[in-house]
Amino acid sequence: MKYVTTKAELEAERLNWEKDGKTVGFVPTMGALHEGHLSLIRKARTENDMVIVSIFVNPLQFGPDEDYDAYPRTIDMDKALAEKEGTDVLFVPPVAEMYPQPPYNKVSVIKGTDVLCGKSRPGHFDGVATVVLKLFLLTRPNRAYFGQKDAQQVAVVKNMVNDFHLPVEVIASPTIREKDGLAMSSRNKNLTSEEREDATTLFSHLKIAEDRLRSGETNITELEAEMKRSLHNATSGTVDYLEILSFPSLTKELKDKQVIIAAALQFSKARLIDNIIIDI
């Protein structure tokens, strides 16, 4: 595995692969790798000749009161895990490499951000889309792999790819969970023992809402309100949202072939998100 930190080093590797006609799979991450990330690397490994994994904690997607400085950084462990899973190039740029000057331009996401995480994190998905576009241009992958846990992010990236005719296939893989149902996340490390027990109620409430929908519930507004009240009473965390939307359009009108049931909980030092996507 090659460990590179500069755009020039990455470009040198990428040019060699292009000469040989190699296909490239790309897994963008912010590090603190866990089984969810590793499952994406494995999938990329089976579907491409070469695999690039990036680790970059992107300051553009963090608000002024969010956990950028506290975000877990475990680069030595991450290098070992990435190499074990067959990564060809691990790209770990410093902030100055990705943003050598204050940006003159950024991607502005104008649809699909007034719900879910976007509603309480203004500008977050502009930062996500901007860094993903930069990483796509640097890595030039045939396929890029994301976890379905960040479903709104997946929708934003897919829509950006379609809008700008980017030559990359975006592949979303199912959420990887702990044995008790909690979605794996780098932020789980920041939970207290009591919060860790509480956190399982996030997924259990999504499952209850799923069962209600599959049983024929049609009053979406009432179901959302009921589930949000129940989740509030069942946890010490603060409920940011619990919403049921069409997917991937992320609208209240259930016009797509799928529905997303999504929720977010804020604990003392960790904000957890989760979702279930079902066919309708």
- Cα distances from 249 to residues 32, 111, 114, 125, in angstroms, run 30, 9, 12, 15
Half-sphere exposure of 246 (CA within 13 A, CB side): 9
- pLDDT at residue 254 tops 90: no
For the question of residue 37 being annotated catalytic, the response is yes
Q: What is the pLDDT of residues 205-250, one digit of tens each?
A: 999 999 999 999 999 999 999 999 999 999 999 999 999 999 988 9
> What superfamily would CATH give domain 2-173?
HUPs (3.40.50.620)
Peptide bond between residue 59 and the one before it cis (omega within 30 degrees of 0): no
Asked if the model's pLDDT at residue 191 lies above 90, the reply is yes
Is 0.85 surpassed by the pTM of this model?
A: yes
Annotated binding-site ranges for ATP: 30-37, 147-150, 176, 184-187
| Pairing, β 258-266 against β 238-247 | antiparallel
Whole-number Å distance between alpha carbons of 46 and 51: 10
CATH ID of 186-279, from 1.10.150.570, 3.30.1300.10, 2.60.40.10, 3.30.465.10: 3.30.1300.10
Partners of 169 in the beta sheet?
143
Domain boundary assignment for the chain: 2-173, 186-279
Catalytic residue among 37, 124, 205, 232: 37
Could you give phi then psi for residue 183, rounded to 5 degrees? Answer: -65, 135
**Tell me: the pLDDT tens digits for 102-127?**
999 999 999 989 999 999 899 999 99
Residues placed in the known binding site: 30-37, 61, 147-150, 153, 176, 184-187
What residue numbers does the annotated binding site for (R)-pantoate cover? 61, 153
Structure tokens at 204: 């259990």
Q: Quick: pLDDT tens for 51-101.
A: 999 999 999 999 887 888 888 899 999 999 999 999 999 999 999 999 999
